[in-house]
Amino acid sequence: MLRMAPSHVDILILGAGWTSTFLTPLLQQRGITYAATTTTGRDGTLLFRFDPDSDDEAPYAALPRARTVLITFPLLGRGQSSHLVDMYRKAHSSSDDGAANWIQLGSSGAFASDAHWVTSATPVDASIARVVAEEELLAAPLNGSVLNLCGLYGGARDPRGWISRVARSKEQVAGRKALHVVHGDDVARAIVALHEAFTPGRRWLVTDLHVYDWWDLMYAWGPEAEAKARERLGAEEAAGLEYRRWVRELMDEQDVRALPRDTKMLGRVLDGREFWRHFGLWPERGRVV
């Protein structure tokens, strides 16, 4: 059964996926009203599918007016951000509640790869279609805000299961350097903080304030990662995985005396302090290990 849309909410979540499993309990706890959409209208959500080529106002008119609209799915290239915002505004042009603030969830991959330490102020890579859409949302007259999130974990997303996805040989382990993550609970807190003290035109990098060394994690989680790989890939394909042995050999070969390696050896690393400092918060899920 489709849920009837309220006339007005504090936050409208466009795309109730993984993020909403952490966000909606926090909104309920804080007494923040919300509505959420999916492309199927499942689980009591509102049915909405963004079509960048359609000028039909009906899907937008069925959505409630909101103080903040959160976009959880990626918009791509020039024109999509403007189209989404314009269609929503047209559908609610009779409202006297003021224009909604727009928050786009993005990826830390938006930032230029030639920087060693990356911050919220690091230039972005304008060749990425997702970044083009984010920049459009940030610019006047849309004046949205973007949360660029690093590796998302929590709930069904277990970083121990990532190891056999990113490296299944000693050579691939040798190439793994830094990992950055943020827990879903802290993503939810970041969204609420931005909703309550909106920063138009600002892009924020959000991490858990740690730089993790893949070798350190592979050594710590090696046996678990191998067991998960056997479940996912089958015993025959996962038989040759030996993460701890590979890391020990690489440490000797590259003269690494201890783990984790120094950040100078880890390539591109993220400094997420600015967001948390600006909003007077710190991550509650402070370390993945």
Give the least confident one: 44-53, 96-105, 252-261, 266-275.
96-105
Which uninterrupted H or E stretch holds 153?
strand 151-153
Beta strands 212-213 and 178-179: pairing type?
Answer: antiparallel
Cβ–Cβ under 8 Å, residues 236 and 230: no
Domain assignment present for 107 = yes
Residue where the block lists tokens 């089958």:
234
- Tokens representing 188 are 């939810």
Residue from 60, 73, 28 nearest 192 by CA:
28
Is 190 part of a structural domain of the chain?
yes
Whether 1 is covered by a domain: the verdict is: no
DSSP, res 78: T
In a domain, 184, yes or no: yes
Report how many domains make up the chain.
Answer: 1
243: amino acid identity, one letter: Y
Residue with token string 């990532």: 162
| pLDDT tens profile 208-218 | 999 999 999 99
Q: Is residue 235 part of a domain?
A: no
- Asked, for residue 91, whether it belongs to a domain, the answer is yes
d(CA 285, CA 220) in angstroms, rounded, equals: 19
Residues, the chain, total? 289
Render pLDDT for 168-205 as a digit per residue (tens, 0 to 9).
Answer: 999 999 999 999 999 999 999 999 999 999 999 999 99
Helix (H, G, I), strand (E, B) or coil at 65: strand
Sheet-wide strand order for 8-14 = 46-47, 34-38, 8-14, 65-71, 101-107, 145-149, 203-206
Which one, of 54, 51, 137, lies nearest residue 100 by Cα? 137
Q: Which has more pLDDT, 202 or 114? A: 202
Residue 238: pLDDT over 90: no
Q: For residue 193, what are its two tokens?
A: 């903080």
In a domain, residue 263? The reply is: no
CATH of the domain at 61: 3.40.50.720
Q: Give the span between the Cα atoms of 15 and 38, in whole angstroms.
A: 5
Q: Are strands 181-183 and 151-153 parallel, antiparallel or unpaired?
A: parallel
The three-class DSSP label of residue 38 is: strand
Residue 241 lies in a domain: no
Measured from the Cβ of residue 20, the count of other Cβ atoms closer than 10 Å reads: 22
Eight-class DSSP state of 27: H
pLDDT (0 to 100) of residue 188: 98
The neighbouring-strand residues paired with 182 are 152
Confidence (pLDDT) at 102 = 98
* Amino acid making up residue 182: V
* Residue 97 domain boundaries: 8-155+180-211+268-279
- The share of the chain scoring above pLDDT 90, in percent, equals 86
User: What is the DSSP secondary structure assignment for residue 283, as one 8-state letter?
Assistant: -
Question: Do the Cβ atoms of 270 and 171 come closer than 8 Å?
Answer: no
